[in-house]
Amino acid sequence: MVSAEAEPRINDRIRAREVRLVGQDGQQIGIRLLPEALDMAREAGLDLVEVADKENPPVCRIMDYGKYKYEAAQRAKESRRNSTNIIVKEMKYRPKIGPGDFETKTRKVRTFLEEGCKVKITIMFRGREVQHPELGKRILDDIAVEVEEVAKVEVYPKLDGRNMVMVLGPAKNKSRRQATRLAKAEPAAALESEAVSQGVNN
């Protein structure tokens, strides 16, 4: 939310003697005395909002300020929601992991990515294993290949102390692939309504 101090002056709170007026559709009306600008806003059933108080004279616009504040708050809320929804999971491997464990862990990595999470892959070296970083690099490369259709590499393999790490992020077109798989797995549910069916196919 915008603090009271940061909010622009509106209507009778505007202090300037004259203003550079902008109409509700964005048209430049020109310099007007403040009382005249206020009358024009009131006749339109709208507010006079000081949008550039550093200018001389300040720029004021005729608008529905309540609607403007609501829409700005909704945009800010959506932006915050999108920026805080990214979750980072971690999956740990050993350099000499067996095929079965590799498959199980990598399948879980795929699931995390399909859910929209980022995944930090950590190869844990023990003892002298750290002298053979190529073993960890090979595993990380294999993981990247296994999930390449649902992931993108955001941080390429690098040593981090006694570990080697790589970070994967969900591919941008992941949602479409996930919708396609759901449609194949649950055809009856997908066909319950025409709207749902069209949403899955698009």
Both tokens assigned to 125:
């070296």
What CATH number is given for 88-171 in this structure? 3.30.110.10
Q: What's this model's pTM, rounded to 2 decimal places?
A: 0.47
In sequence order, the 6+-apart residues with CB closer than 8 A to the CB of 19 are 31, 32, 34, 37, 48, 50, 57, 58, 59, 60
**What are the domain boundaries of the chain?**
11-79, 88-171
pLDDT of residue 143: 97
Task: Please state, in angstroms and rounded to a whole number, the distance separating the CA atoms of residues 51 and 41.
Answer: 14
pLDDT by residue, tens only, the chain of 202 residues: 444 457 889 999 999 999 999 998 888 999 999 999 999 999 999 999 999 988 899 999 999 999 888 888 888 888 777 665 678 999 999 999 999 999 999 999 999 999 989 999 999 999 999 899 999 999 999 999 999 999 999 999 999 999 999 999 998 764 444 444 544 444 434 434 443 344 444 4
Q: How far are the Cα atoms of 6, 14, 151 from residue 38, in angstroms, in the given order?
A: 22, 10, 56
Neighbours of 130 (CB within 10 A): 18
pLDDT of residue 40: 94
What CATH number is given for 11-79 in this structure? 3.10.20.80
Task: Please state, in angstroms and rounded to a whole number, the distance separating the CA atoms of residues 78 and 83.
Answer: 9
Q: Do domains 11-79 and 88-171 have the same CATH topology?
A: no
Token look-up 């950590």 returns 122
